[in-house]
Every structure is written in structure tokens, then in C-alpha cells.
Amino acid sequence: MTRHTAVRADPAPATPSPAGTPSVPAASVRVRRGRPARARNPVRAALPVAAFFAVLVGGWQAVAARSDNVLVPDVPAVWTALSDTVTQPLFYDSLGATLLRVGLGFALAFVTAVVVGIAMGRVEFVRRFFEPAVLIGLTVPGLVWALLCVIWFGVSLTNPVVAVALSAAPALTLSIYQGTRALDSELHEMAYVYRFSLVTKLRFLWLPSLLPALLSGARLGLSLSWKVIVLVEMFGMSSGVGYELNNQFAAQNVAGVLSWTLLFALVMAVLEYGVLQGLERRLGRWRKAASI
């Protein structure tokens, strides 16, 4: 989502797609054209981002200076809290615990979603069976999963893992199901007449076809996971980023709350944009070649 918006705001907007083109390919065309433009002039592309942060920090400082209230710490205070936090081993321990929980829960959700999503795309009965579950799962707020899991599983590792899995799986399943539906039946006919083995089909036909859906599903699932893990750790855990946030909140340390939040957001952004998007780009090389 964010990436599309960013590209659309490029100084050289792509030409409008021809009429009648479905919206999804149109969006990908835009993304494709946006990339070389950004590569040509990185300074110009980074400028709006830098401007945003300058406005944010400057605005914050202005508000803090005007209000002169301990509940609105100024930028130097937040910066001090930030550097204090990153120098403590506690930060790394908490971050490690949180990442482990998210990782396990996300892995559980991913495996479930791949199996259920593909089955839903291939078998009508399975689709009808799981459709209500996916819809209910999508509408139940993460907070509810967090509360229920704390009640059921207490402080064990099961609690955050199941809560994360429950909140991420429905969106992931939906994404993979839609990816399965979009599979090209013509290529399956080709694979049939050339007698591709099951392994060849999985490796060279299914996996590459599903890859965009898997990756976009993974990004969506991860962003949902971060949101719910903090809640679970607040209510039911005695460690992790959410727990430390709650401590800072209880101590009415706004700078502490802000610094923990900023650092956590930074790690997540690196994971999502650095790792997942890098993976997407690497695996989508053949697609990039098409725009030359």
C-alpha cells in the first residue's frame, strides 16, 4: 500500500494506463515504471521523505515548547530517552523475546494459511467451509484475540504465539486463496502435455505463480502481528516490548513510551521494507526485465 502511494507521488507520474485495463495490472505497471525513475535520481526521491521528518520533528518541538508540559517532552528529552533505551541490554532482551513470539506465531499462521488458502482455491467445498471462518477472523479485533489468549493460555509462550497466529492467519489465507484463484490454467495445460512431475510443477509453476500473493500476504500478516503482540505483552506477559511500554506508561514516562515505540517501529520497518521488499525485488527480477 505505502509503496504504491509513494510511487504515485513520484515527480514523473506514469502515463495513465489504457482504458479498460483492470486496476491491479495498472498498479503494477506504475510500480515498475516508478523504480527506474527513483534509481536515476535518489536525492530527489529522498527529498519528500526527509521533508516529512523535518516537519514532524520541527512541529513536535514547536508544540512541546509552547505547551511547556511534562506530558509533552521536547525533542532533546525524547532523544535522551532514546539513546538511554538503546544502550540498555533490557532493550535487546525485550526485542528478542518479542521477535521470537512474532516469528513463531507468524510461522504458524503462514503454514496454516498456505495449506488452507491453496485448498480453498482448488476445492469448492473447502472454500465454502473456510469462508465464514476467514470472514469472522478478519472482523474480530486483535485486542479480542489478545484478551482471550491471555485468559486461556496464561503467561506461557503459547499465549502470544496463538494470538499472533489467530490475528494474522485470516488475512494471509485470503491473500493466498486469491493468488491460487489467479493461477494460469493455460500454464497448467502446458505442464500437463509436457508431463511435468509434481515436484517440477510445485517448484517451477506453483511457487513462482503464488509468490506475489505469498509476499504481499506476508507483509500484511506481519503488520497485523506487530499490533497484536504489543497488546498481548501488555496484558499477559512479563517481558517483551509491550511489557516495557506498559511499564513506561505506568511510570508516566512519555519520553520512554515514545522512545520504545519509535525503536520498535524502526525495527519493524526494517524487517518489512528491507527484508520482505528486498526479497520481493530479488525474486521478481524477471518482471523488472520486462520494463526495459
Partner 1 sequence: MTTNGAPAEDAGQRPYAVLDGVGKEFFSARTGERETVFDGFSLTLHHGELVAVVGASGTGKTTLLHLVAGLEHADTGRITLDDETRTDGPPGPAGPSGTEGTGHRLGVVFQQPRLLDWLSVRRNVELALTSAGLDPAGASQALADVGLAQYADRYPSVLSGGQRQRAAVARAFAVQPELVLLDEPFSALDQLTARRLRLLLQDLWTARPRTGLLVTHNPLEAAFLADRVIVLDGRPARVHAEFAIGLPRPRAPEDPRVFDHQTEILAALG
Hey, which residues between 208 and 227 contact partner 1 (CB under 8 A)? 208
Q: Tell which one of 92, 129, 152, 204 touches partner 1 (CB under 8 A).
A: 204
Q: Strand, helix or coil at 247?
A: helix
Shortest Å distance, C-beta 37 to partner 1: 20
Ordered DSSP codes for 32-76? HHHHHHHHH-HHHHHHHHHHHHHHHHHHHHHHHHHH--TTS--HH
Ordered DSSP codes for 198-225? HHHHIIIIIHHHHHHHHHHHHHHHHHHH
Stretch that binds partner 1, among 29-37, 39-47, 169-177, 199-207 (CB under 8 A): 199-207
Determine contact, residues 231/146, Cβ cutoff 8 Å: yes
Angle between helix 241-250 and helix 207-236 axes, rounded to 10 deg? 30
Residue 167: CB atoms within 10 Å: 29
Shortest Å distance, C-beta 227 to partner 1: 33
Interaction of residue 9 with partner 1, rule CB under 8 A: no
Q: Tell which one of 187, 262, 267, 271 touches partner 1 (CB under 8 A).
A: 187
Interaction of residue 71 with partner 1, rule CB under 8 A: no
Determine contact, residues 94/240, Cβ cutoff 8 Å: yes
Interaction of residue 24 with partner 1, rule CB under 8 A: no
The residue behind cell 503488520 is 223
Cell for 26? Answer: 495498472
Interaction of residue 193 with partner 1, rule CB under 8 A: yes
Stretch that binds partner 1, among 51-59, 123-131, 203-211, 220-228 (CB under 8 A): 203-211
Q: Tell which one of 57, 190, 269, 270 touches partner 1 (CB under 8 A).
A: 190
Shortest Å distance, C-beta 104 to partner 1: 31
Q: Provide the Cα torsion 12, 15, 16, 17; round to 10°.
A: -130
141 half-sphere exposure, CB direction, 13 A CA radius: 5
> What x/- string results for residues 141 through 180 when contact with partner 1 is judged by CB under 8 A?
----------------------------------------
Shortest Å distance, C-beta 10 to partner 1: 23
Interaction of residue 25 with partner 1, rule CB under 8 A: no
Stretch that binds partner 1, among 34-42, 50-58, 182-190, 257-265 (CB under 8 A): 182-190
Residues engaged in binding partner 1 (CB under 8 A): 186-190, 192-197, 200, 204-205, 208, 286-287, 289-290, 292
